[in-house]
Amino acid sequence: MNSSFNKLLTFKILIVVLLVSVFSTNFLFIERVYALSDSKQLVLDAWSLVNEGFYDPEKFDEIQWKRIRQKTLQKQIETTEEAYSAIEDMLRPLDDPYTRVLRPKDYELLKSSNFGSEINGVGLQLGEDGESNKIKVVSTLGGSPAEEAGITSGSLIEKVDGISSEELGLANTASKLRGASGTKVLVEISSESGEIREVDLERRSVDLRPVRTKRLRDDSHTIGYLRITQFSESVPKKVEEALQELKEKEVEGLILDLRNNSGGLVSSGIAVADSLLSESPIVETKDRNGIKDAIISQKELSFDGPMVTLVNKGTASASEILAGSLQDNGRSILMGEKTYGKGLIQSLKSLGEESGIAITVASYLTPNGKNIQGQGMTPDKLLDLPDASEYGSAEDKWVKNAELFLESVLEKEKISNQTIESSNEE
């Protein structure tokens, strides 16, 4: 009996020891999870935001996304800067240059360019070149140091202050180009013809002036010219005001100039399309859950006359959504060059108090189902003409071509209306 009692006692003691071990292990695990430093918590927050929003979740299985989180959190991350670097390393396997961490300075500048009217820098809007992995110039801002230095769309950024753009990546290249007004940055540029040159650019405040307009008149017709340089929050309202002003000046046709408009807020581009289309599809989006129904414009038009839309290789993102919707609905012909081909949409999320993260959350298709990503929009009429030094000026041959086309359309309408009137009188 003593033997049985001893065995039972030993068994109970063993159970108690096991329970204590389990609870101790769980306690230690809980303590480790909840004792993350602020720097590591920043990394974990970034991982969670991407995990919840990234448009292609199949990529997660391909790169072992959860394992990447585990390995990243095992690193020694003690400072905020180390956290940003760890997030960059963590995002790299996604192979999406647009999903990126934004340090406080970059986050503030991006927000100000989307919601404000000016930005400090050299006026270059950048993308990643898929073939060389270097950073490509999408467009230059009008009146900026980059435009004055003759830097053109399609050029490659070889180095910034002696550091190669391949080493820096898209976000860090853009960050190094920005800075306090009056400071300088040395940029090595290679043109599409292969010519390499160094340019010393002085940063300054660049007035974005996103909407510009004027009236073009000849002997028989009055045509409106509307240029949109970027889609910021204020643009839809400014466009409405500009169109109203042009209508009061009795313009008969409209030239919409989207050259070197590298995008901005997609919602602003869609709002402008809404003002130029009547009960027509604007765009379809494809997120992680599949294709959503097309966004349909309202019935009311802000301008209903004939249109020409000017595009070039610096026309990208939100401006391609607008151009594609106008072309596919037969509302406007496109004239110029093939566009850039950025068909991915980013959502901007706050990360901590001062930094942020941009996450690709969807791709978009034109109303006819064209996928613009990597392909761009092909104009109805290609223009093999040199770019004007000042868009919309009297020397701008692209605008002159658009003007001549609209005049021919208006003449045909005039003859057609006269024929109808004559038939009615008879």
- 166-169 long-range CB contacts below 8 Å, 24 or more apart? 166/132, 166/133, 166/134, 168/135, 169/88, 169/97, 169/135
- 328 is a catalytic site residue: yes
- 342 is a catalytic site residue: yes
Which of 144, 317, 325, 332 is flagged as catalytic? 317
The separation between CA 306 and the C-alpha centre of its own chain, rounded to angstroms, equals 28
Which of 106, 274, 328, 387 is flagged as catalytic? 328
- 232 is a catalytic site residue: no
Which of 342, 355, 370, 396 is flagged as catalytic? 342
How many CB atoms are closer than 10 A to CB 231? 29
- Residues taking part in catalysis: 317, 328, 342
